[in-house]
Structure 1
Amino acid sequence: MWRKLRILILLLILLFVALNTYFDRVYSTDWNIPLRVTVYPINGDDSDAVDVFINQLKPDRFEAMEAFFEEEADSWGLAMERPVQFQSAPPLGEQPPALDRNANVLSIMWWSLRMRYWAWQSPDLPGAAPDIKLFVIYHDPAITPAVAHSIGMQKGLYAVVNVFADRSMIGSNDVITAHELLHTLGATDKYNPSNNQPLNPIGYAEPDKQPLLPQDYAELMGGRIPVTSSKSTTPESLRQVVVGQLTAEEIGWYKE
């Protein structure tokens, strides 16, 4: 009797999670109203320099990302003013659960559940709850010269974004943040994970360009600007980035 009851409760929980995930997916990409995104800055190195950097971030620092998404959405036929709207939360003093680089499938599943709960219980700002939460972890380049891989999760609508606390890298930080944000909306990576080279044609900003290489821009989910068939460069800001057709389809901006 008790065993059947426990199984029933578990099935109901799984059904609730599945339905919640489905409606999150539908709601986040119907584009009837702008998406509300809350950004939580985190000091990733417990560094005084990172604290100073975070405290000096300006309220208008999301202007470039909001303008980028508006321009790209408009280019695919979505005429909406500021389809993605950002707001900043106070810095969090707690690090998100860490994912072991060599984690197996079960470990990843367990991390995903812990991370989803951690994101859910993070404090909301006054007013309407955000649609998406971005946990942006800033690192001191003098302490952490190479950051961990960022991750955006469609299930739960959150992302953990690792960037550098360096003013010269604000533009490239925006590119990484925008990339992970689109992962939460269902966009897929469009580069070869073995060498980070954008995939032709889906990872190219201008797949019909003649000559094809070098490209002038990066496709956001391709991540880099192809220079040759084996070499690419990192965009310095969103001014060097576009959203390609397949990505636009995946997030509901473009329908054939």
Structure 2
Amino acid sequence: MFKTLRILILLLVLLTVAGTTWLGRWQAQSWKRPQVVTLYPINAGGDAATEAYLDRLDESAFAGLEPYFKEQAARYGVALSQPVRIVLGRRVRALPPPVPRDGSVLSAISWSLRMRWWAWRETPPSSPVPDVRLFLMYHPTDFASALPHSTGLEKGRLGLVHVFASRSQAGPNQVVIAHEALHTFGATDKYDPITLMPRFPDGYAEPQAEPRLPQARAELMAGRVPLRENEARIPADLTETLIGPVTALEIGWVK
């Protein structure tokens, strides 16, 4: 009898989790109201230069995001005048759990659970209540190597975004923020995970262009502007990107 009761309780928990996940996905992709994306800055390395930058950080560093989402949503007939609202939240002092390097599925699942637990504990109170939480990991401009890979999670609707602590990098920073934000709405990457080259055709902003290369802009979820068969560049800012039809379908802008 006790064993049966435990099984019933476990099934109830699983059904509740599944229902909550489905409801969250429906709410995220229904676009009945603006989706609040709150940004929480973090000094990733603890250095003084980044600390000074974050002391001066304000909403102007993210000014291109709201107009970009409004313009792109309008291309697909989304009626909202402000589909995404960007809010700069309070700084977070604690560092998130490190992303695993082995790339295994079990490691990824474990990190996702630990990341959601960390976010639940460390997210500062904010108003309005965020639909999406993005933790911005700021690094100095003289960072010795390529920035760590950023991650956006649809489950939990949160992301870990690595950016540079420099006004001159505001354009590329906003591209990465927008990319990871769309992951939380269900968008998938449109590039080859090995070469990082955009996939044709869904990773091209204008797949019908003749000649096909070079492209003038990047599909946001591909992240790079294709120039030659094995060459691409990072967009300078959001004006050099667009949201393609496959991505629009994934996030609910196209039914």
Query: Is TM > 0.5 for Structure 1 vs Structure 2?
Result: yes
Q: Residues of 2 paired with 1:238 and 1:185: CA distance? A: 18
Deviations 1:194-253, CA, capped at 9 Å, x for gaps: 111101110000111111111000000011000011111110100100000100111111
Structure 1 counterpart of 2:151: 151
> How many angstroms does 1:170 deviate by?
1.2
The letter for the 2-side match of 1:196 is L
Kindly tell me: are residues 116 and 43 of structure 1, through their superposed partners in 2, closer, same or farther at Cα, counting changes over 3 Å? same
Question: Does residue 130 of structure 2 align to residue 130 of structure 1?
Answer: yes
Unaligned runs of 5+ in 2: none
Q: Counterpart of 2:65?
A: 65
**1:163 aligned partner:** 163
Question: Which stretch shows the higher mean deviation, 106-115 or 68-77?
Answer: 106-115
Is 1:196 paired with 2:203? no
Q: TM-score, normalised by structure 2?
A: 0.94
- CA distance, structure 2, for counterparts of residue 160 and residue 123 of structure 1: 13
Q: Identical aligned pairs, as a percentage?
A: 44
Sort the Cα spacing of 1:165 and 1:32 in 2 relative to 1 into closer, same or farther, 3 A.
same
Asked if structure 1 preserves the Cα contact closer than 8 Å seen for 2:66 and 2:82, the reply is yes
| Deviation (angstroms), 1:124 | 4.4
Which SS does the other structure have where 1:173 is aligned? helix
1:17, 1:101 → 2: CA distance? 28
Tell me the equivalent position of 1:238.
Answer: 238
Match of 2:218 in 1: 218
Q: How far apart are 1:103 and its partner, in Å? A: 4.7
**Which residue type is aligned with residue 240 of structure 1?**
E
- Using the size of structure 1 for normalisation, the TM-score is 0.94
* Separation in structure 2 between the aligned mates of residue 103 and residue 214 of structure 1, nearest angstrom: 32
Partner residue in 2 for 1:23 = 23
Change (3 A) 1:143 1:242: closer
What RMSD in Å do the two structures reach over aligned CA positions? 1.6
Tell me how far 1:6 sits from its aligned partner: 3.9
- The number of residue pairs the alignment matches comes to 255
Q: In the alignment, residue 19 of structure 1 is paired with which amino acid? A: G
Write the deviation string for residues 50-71 of structure 1: whole angstroms up to 9, x where unpaired: 1111121122332201000000
Shift, 1:110, TM fit: 1.9
The range that moved more, 38-47 or 122-131, is 122-131
Q: Is the 8 A contact 1:45 1:143 kept in 2?
A: no
Moved more, 162-171 or 33-42: 162-171
In the alignment, the residues of structure 2 paired with residue 229 and residue 103 of structure 1 have an alpha-carbon distance, to the nearest angstrom, of: 27
User: By how many angstroms is 1:2 displaced?
Assistant: 4.7
